[in-house]
Structure 1
Amino acid sequence: MESIDMKSPCVKCSKGCGITTCNGCQQAYCINHFNQHRQELAIEVETLRQKHDRFRSNLDRKFTEHPLLLQINQWEQDAVNTIQTIAETARALLRELLNQTKNEIEKSMKNLTDALQSSRECDDYTEINIKKWTGQLRTLRETIESPPTILITENEKLVIPLISVHNQPSTFATENFENHTVTVEYSTHPSERFDQIVGKAITSEECRVITCNTWFVSYPTIYGSGRYSSGTHRLDYQIEKIGNSSIFFGITSSLEGARENDENDTSVHGWWDLARTVVNGEAEKGNDQKFITTGDEVTLTIDCDDRQIQLQHHQTRRQVELNIDIEYCPLPWKTVIKLGSKGDCIRILE
């Protein structure tokens, strides 16, 4: 019996003979739709080539403009600004001390000049006077030439947090590439200090005390010196004085610079007196109840690993927690405190 050659129909038109099968999709096509299929594949290849070229052209830019490089650049600029400020303050103090010494020498020189001139004009001097004036002049010369009594000392409490770069494991794997992520970690000083101030407030006691010296027309904002990117950190504060307004405790991303107005800063998170929560820079609805009063102590806990912050009020044992979305508030973090009344004063406890 003669066998019948059964051919699969074309996958496109479902009629006609499928004269060939694509080795890729394993579908049968008639001659017209096979050619069309090849054209579609050619378009896909061209699209892929264009994506490849765009990726390749952006490759260098992605690495040269990497956010961590920008973060390091910002740290460098902040460090330079801090060093310049400290150096200028030290120079001004040194000039003041040197001028004091110079003025004292000039005063002594004037007295000696007046005595010499008067004695010469009156022809009223003896060997005793000459010996006395010689000794005075020698003392003044030794004062100038002797080692200065002014010393420059280095404060072991670092003002500028150091940074380091290292690899850390990542859960993302790319085929044929050794995967790693680079993070920048700040080596934070164990003692937090009040650092940048936006508004009218003054620091004292080695920047451990901050005092508001303006009315509530604009809240002075104070940023901490620490940079927190990993681990858990407890920062203890004592309320030396508080007026009728609330005080804000919270964090923001250290990638954000100090702002005159942070209302649009989505990285700000925290609480106004444990009653009103601020998320992504916006204060949520809450009551105006005040828990914090003069003499109270609070602890701000920064948990970088679990992406969470906590504020504990020791007198009432009240504690509030807030989860942080690092998309809005990227690590590393720094503290933010806002004072609302003139005379408000907060101390960082060791």
Structure 2
Amino acid sequence: MSASASNKKQCVLCNKSGGIMICEGCQQAFCGKHVIEHRQTLSGQLDNMMQEHDLLQQELAQPSLKKNPLLKKIDKWEKDSIAKIQVAAETARKTLQELLEQSKERLSKTCRDITENLRASQEADDFSENDLQRWKKQLKELQLEITSPSSAKLILDKNAPIYIMTLRANESSNDQGENRKESSTSSSSHNLDLQERFLQTLGHVNLEENGCLAKCVDPWPSFSYLRGRFLYSTGCHTIRFRIENCKEPYRIFFGCMSSKTALKEDVFRASDSVGWFGNDQVYENGRCSSNVRKYGYKSRNIKINDVLDLIIDCTKKQIRLFHERLKTTCTLSVNDNLAPLPWQFLLALCNLGDSVRILPNA
């Protein structure tokens, strides 16, 4: 074959060299037949592009809110915020009820004293305008104390991490990379979870770091019991714990109990408590079992620095323990007839030096 024949351009589809044309776009060679097909292919691509353009024009004329990815974030923010506000409100109601019960005896005594003074003065017919004014003032103060007790005061915690979500336009629509960074930073700063803390204790335990860290300071066989600050009656809530220190054998109880019951010795064995303990023990409303095959719970797998998620699901009437390192989940049902809502998380520490930290939700 001559050098001129070998350098002759051929069609990229059929390898023929007759009537060759070069496409200015892709710089490929086509014969007369295939150049027409190539042009038809390009025309089809243009038609598809025109259809995409028309669809974009329709969306631009009538923007669909349902397709906007920000809508899911807004919906989740709304759902999470409502759930956390309900928890805070339920906790505040319970606290108010306890304060009212505590002040009831004191107010009853004050009322009896006023009644005795009124009756004695009336029977002796020994009183003046000054006495009437004094009694009137006492009755008014008593009425005010009953309707608005001075022992209770609503405090708005401005540091609590529930934020108002706002949507604003980005200042620069050209710098999309920076906008994405700002959006990511803004999203991560909106921590919608109220910080759970250790609050109620029974036994020898120290609370540190504003109630986020609990340390057992009394050796076995004594128990130290802890409950959280929040009451859970609706929805699903996750509390993350990290094992800061634990001695062998592992003896830490994670679970929940009814808030209607006070902390007491062996409370995790009571009928209104449910949870997981050492020696593979599982407690369900007063019953104890170490059946690993049934419950899938192995306490010996829990080590120092492990993070355990206690999930309190009031809707499904169950609690779950998720081991973040092993990616395992154990589930227990809660009989709300024996453990009436609202619930609180319950911890029990046994070994001297054992400590658990409450972490912010991920």
By percentage of residues, which structure has more helix? 2
TM range (shorter): 0.3 to 0.5
TM-score normalized with structure 2 length = 0.46
TM-score by length of 1: 0.47
